[in-house]
A and B are shown apart, each in its own frame.
Chain A
Amino acid sequence: MGLFNDLSANVLKSRVGITGAGILLCLVLVSAFTIIFIPLDTYKQWNNPSSWTLFPKSALPSWVNIFLAKKIPEHQILDNTSTTVQTGDNARKIMQSFETDYAFDYFPSDFIYQYTAKYQGTPVLEFDVTRPDGMTLHLLSYSLPNLKSRTVFSDKVFSTNESIRKNILLASDRFAFSIVSMPVEEVVFSKTDAHEVLKGKYTFVAKISTTDAQSIMDDSKLIIGGKVFGLIGTDEQRRDLAIGLLWGTPLALFIGITVSVVSVVSGLVYGVFAGYKGGKTDESMMRFNDIIYALPALPFLIILAVTISNSIFLMIGFLMIFGWVGIAKVSRSMALQIKNRQFVEASKAMGQKSSKIIFKHIIPQIMPYALASIAISVPAAITTEAGLSFLGLGDPSFPTWGQILHDASKHGAVTRGLWWWVIPPGIMITITGLAFVFVGNSLDTFRIKR
């Protein structure tokens, strides 16, 4: 293990090496965090639009508000803060309230109440809001559909609902301006004397009155629609981009490291074997190597992805096929030098098997070079996968960074100025690439020094 200690000491000695190792450590931690704490379901549901309906469409990241004088409303998905249940002999009232402190300078784009209830009969749903100025607006009275036996029912109430609109119009004398043609949310969140946002605490209360004493309400949410959301924002299909980027990290590391390790190791063994054997074996092995070397890789990867399958595991395999040739050439020439050294000749004279000589004596000598090339060839694998995904040839079931950029370009994110959709994935690709190049370079200087 002395070699590895030397190597890690060397990486940590140079400033570039420390930077690279530091970034790499961060990426590994992010991957571990994602795998442990982010539910696996979020990536399986990545391409399922119905699991993202609560999220806003193309929302900016929420930190942009720091730089803005007028704050853009944040998209809020509220769970109910309190549930009170009053049970009588033959009746039950369930009340759920949602609180939000609205401190933005623009009106929300809408609000949606999503609820799930288990009941029988025909309960009545009432929906009210109490504003910071103490005014209570009655939004909706609605009888839920009649159910003969106790069943689960879920539905959504949208702010564009026609009865909410009529109920609001009943309060038009309380406002100093005409609210007739205004969207509901702009009335609910408005000052009474002028059409401006009224900041402060809003409490939405949903009440279900039923004759069924055993009815239950759960899993209710109030969504106050905004235009900023989360750390990275959302895309056109309402997906939370932060989740996509987080899942992209372990995927990129997996693709990059698997491809480079397998191709470097197989190239190394191939090259050393050819160099050690020499003669006809060497000649024919190197001619085969030349042929693979001259094949145009990208067109082939594209044709393979189109005709065979775009599964991510097959793509990893294809990348390996084109990855080993360069390493094989270099390690062959290194083996040619090493095989004439005395200790190799000595073990040959002692009658050791050639496989033993190759693995025990020659390959350990080339190890520092191999480790450096593993690190240096990781970025190429990641960018090639990202490029193929960007062209739309990637595996759509995995949210890789290239896949996110492909979706972005498909929806014209660049020409529409949706920068938060385009910049972060590219930065992640670049940072990951740089980290490996830094580590690889500091390993390489170690090899040259030796």
Chain B
Amino acid sequence: MTAATPAPPMIRMEGVDKFFGDLHVLKDINIEVPAGQVVVVLGPSGSGKSTLCRAINRLEPINQGVIEVDGKPLPAEGKALAGLRADVGMVFQQFNLFAHKTIADNVALAPVKVRKMNKGEARQHAMGLLERVGITDQAEKYPAQLSGGQQQRAAIARALAMKPKVMLFDEPTSALDPEMVQEVLDVMTNLAKEGMTMLVVTHEMGFARRAANRVVFMSDGEIVEDSTPDVFFTAPKSDRAKDFLGKILTH
């Protein structure tokens, strides 16, 4: 093997601090996510894990520290930031599909408007992605006509349409009815198998065990543990992680 200069991590956060008023929501966060890795961020609500996820594409600006995506520091608001966001896919808890556009248009919109892809090509690409997430037959419907699970799969297709280098998932299954969680997790698991770099904020322990390369546990705005799923679930080191796992795994 050749000892080339190592590729920069896909995501790097160094000394990141974030406040909401007096509330210190991210405390000196340091984390690196190498390309191809699937990182699951766990933690109780209010631990700052969603904020961490949203800070990576600057939906939440940070107060201090450095965030780099693919070796480049996050630019300030403007054209350069839009360019970076185009390379970072994001999936939200509330799906946030564009309510006035059909599913196919939702998926094809950004490639046309941001990547300047021609409409026919974008549409074809969109249909391919909808097939990949299993909702081709919903292409001409509006988001409100779909079930939550279908909407979230469409939202994943919309993010993938930009051919992102990394995908951020901000509690993608938390707003879903229980019977729809699995269909979304299946899409995510396939994505992970295909080698997509992913940072997933979730409460789905099954997904963390099955698909994650690494588990990051957050509590009170700090990263408390950073280990493999096996180690984290069987032998957590910190009391806070033990307490958290005790609450969710026993019932």
A, B from the same assembly: no
